[in-house]
Amino acid sequence: MCKNIFFDLDGTLIDPRMRLHSLFQELAPESKFSFDEYWKIKRQRINQKKLLTEWFNYPDEKIRKFKRIWMEKVEEPHRLKQDILFGYTKNVLANLSKKYDLYLVTARQFEDRANSQLDDYKIKSFFKKILVTKQKKTKAEMIKNNFSYYSDDIFIGDTGEDVLAGKELGLKTVAVYSGCLSKEILKEYNPDLIVKDVGEFYENSSL
């Protein structure tokens, strides 16, 4: 029986796409990508390096600089304010937290900023613990080092890495295509379940 549910943050519980698109435009001013154009490309698992090389001819040195500044800026507090809490998130977390222990596992760099964002959305109290990798550990390592978990527990996220982390731990994996990747790309990682978003997951699950 499922006891613990591990949630990714960006693209799973909140929508960071506006923040990421606007930062891209800022750092690559030659880009004329609209929000939709940018995400249509990104959702095909085109990473930054490939995008900057193939669309804008960036040399390696310029890509390294882009990446460094990206990491410096991407979690600036005023940018995080562009994120949007998905409409179903609060309700789903409130309901699930009555029966299960919920954990948030995010690859954000700044623990304090992630926490204050969750506070702003009033969803922090639904989680038993907030795990922030600070880009120093993998999500699987964070969970392994901190908790007991069971093979019926669930890991929900919007990326291939999330599915692989869940599989590494032997958990049930749920992929949502409300974030970074398309349904077709997520299928390649073979999660136990693929759903549009966390709202649909909750409605259709027997949890």
Output the smallest distance, CB 180 to Mg ion, in A. 6
Q: Closer to Mg ion by CB, 10 or 153: give it.
A: 10
Nearest to 162 by CA among 152, 147, 172: 172
Q: Closer to Mg ion by CB, 28 or 104: give it.
A: 104
**DSSP run (H or E) holding 173:** strand 172-176
Among the residue ranges 4-12, 46-54, 58-66, 199-207, the one whose residues contact Mg ion (CB under 5 A):
4-12
- Applying CB under 5 A, among 5, 7, 11, 177 the residue interacting with Mg ion is 11
Q: Closer to Mg ion by CB, 126 or 177: give it.
A: 177
Burial class (CB in 10 A: 0-12, 13-18, 19+), 75: middle
CA-based torsion, 164, 165, 166, 167: positive or negative: positive
Output the smallest distance, CB 86 to Mg ion, in A. 12
**Taking CB under 5 A as the rule, does residue 15 contact Mg ion?**
no
Interstrand relation of 84-85 and 14-15 (parallel, antiparallel or unpaired): antiparallel
- Applying CB under 5 A, among 8, 15, 83, 153 the residue interacting with Mg ion is 8
Order of strands, edge to edge, in the sheet holding 193-195?
129-132, 101-106, 4-7, 154-157, 172-176, 193-195
Output the smallest distance, CB 159 to Mg ion, in A. 5
Interface positions, 132-171, toward Mg ion (CB under 5 A): 158
Output the smallest distance, CB 12 to Mg ion, in A. 5
Output the smallest distance, CB 59 to Mg ion, in A. 29
Q: Which residues contact 42 (CB under 8 A, 6 or more apart)?
A: 51, 180
Applying CB under 5 A, the residues found at the interface with Mg ion are 8, 10-11, 158
